[in-house]
Amino acid sequence: MSIWFDNYTVEDIVTKDTMVEHLGIEVTELGDDYVVGTMPVDKRTKQPFGILHGGASVALAETLASYAGFLTIDPEKYHVVGVEINANHLKMAKKGLVTGKCSPIKRGRSTQVWQTEITNDDGELVCISRITLMILEKR
């Protein structure tokens, strides 16, 4: 059974004219309780030493978790904001795509915690990140 507030599809996720679009992040799958997205390892996401920038990995993780959190709430009444994120960078990526899969750890009324595992083209874990989102009432 889906945890999403509505019957959302990937097409409902808007990335146009945002940092998400600039980094080439694309949401590719919505499962019943997870969001999957990809990001290219290219000049937009590499650090000066030719490897995936840790900040780009964090941007992918926060993007997927923010979408996931948003998809669980009534958007007429609430919005979600990130309040804390951490990441462990475990392996380098030099080319191709990295793929993040974001799943809930806790979904409460006022806070949510999501975990994103980012893998390279070979399925190897590149980064694992955890974010806390706060659910705020719209005023």
Residues catalogued as catalytic: 62
Give ∠ CA 8-34-28 in degrees, rounded to 5. 65
Name 115's Cβ contacts closer than 8 Å, sequence gap at least 6: 102, 103, 104, 105, 128, 129, 130
Cα–Cα distance for residue pair 90/26, rounded to 1 Å: 22
